[in-house]
Amino acid sequence: MKNLFLVRHAKSSWQAPLNDFDRPLTQSGIKDSHLVSSMAKDFLPKAYIIWSSKAKRACETALIFAQNFSYPVENILFRDDLYTFDEKDLQKVIQSCPDEIDNLILFGHNEAITNFVNTFGTVYIDNVPTSGFISISFDSNSWKFLKKGVTNKTIFPRDLR
């Protein structure tokens, strides 16, 4: 059994004249990350790894979640290839996870996350919101051969307010 936890980065700012990669979180994004991660920690297995896009907004979101999960931030793997908006590229990254890892938490971007969830999960989601958390389990011993999984949990900020 493989368990994937996908988190869309929190709301980011468009105020400063920065390129997309360098956009930071807004105050509401920070608040939502704390809110969702506080609820999500109850649904995590004992052992897992965290991967995150290197984009500033994804990194900041991953750090907030890791803090609330009591996960050592130095163990987060920040990956260039997670700065993608394409679900096929996201799928390739997920399939590269070593098979000895059963539980992967991944911080990334939309459209990739929404499209991946709708391809591999059992619950259709029109749009995974910022700070959205989705858990999908796969009846497989290998990440390389992912087939349709089961959506176990969704936690969205709007449901917690």
Contact 103, 5 (CB under 8 A): yes
* pLDDT above 90 for 15: no
DSSP assignment, residue 12? Answer: B
Rg of the chain (C-alpha set):
14
Angle 100-106-148 from CA coordinates, rounded to 5°: 70
Question: pLDDT band for position 9 (50/70/90)?
Answer: very high
**100: Cβ contacts below 8 Å, ≥ 6 apart:** none
Which pLDDT score, from 0 to 100, does residue 70 have?
A: 97
pTM of the model: 0.96
Q: Dump pLDDT digits (tens) for 46-60.
A: 999 999 999 999 999
Looking at residue 122, its pLDDT comes to: 98
State the pLDDT confidence band at 35, using cuts at 50, 70 and 90.
very high
> Alpha helix (H) ranges present in 25-160?
27-40, 56-69, 87-95, 112-120
| Burial letters 27-50, b for 16+ CB under 10 A, else e | eebbbbbebbbeebeeebeeeebb
**Which of 67, 36, 10 is closest to 156 using CA atoms?**
36
Residue 16 has pLDDT above 80, yes or no: no
Tell me what pLDDT residue 40 has.
97
Q: Is the pLDDT of residue 42 over 80?
A: yes
Q: How confident is the model at residue 161 (pLDDT cuts 50, 70, 90)?
A: confident
- Mean pLDDT for 75-92 is 97
Q: What is the pLDDT of residue 11?
A: 97
DSSP 25: B
Q: Residue 127, Cα to own-chain centre: how many angstroms?
A: 14
pLDDT in tens, 122-151: 999 999 999 999 999 999 999 999 999 999
How far is 31 from 52, CA to CA, in rounded Å?
19
Mean pLDDT to the nearest integer, 99-123:
98
Residue with tokens 């997670």: 82
Structurally, at CATH architecture level, domain 2-159 sits in: 3-Layer(aba) Sandwich (3.40)
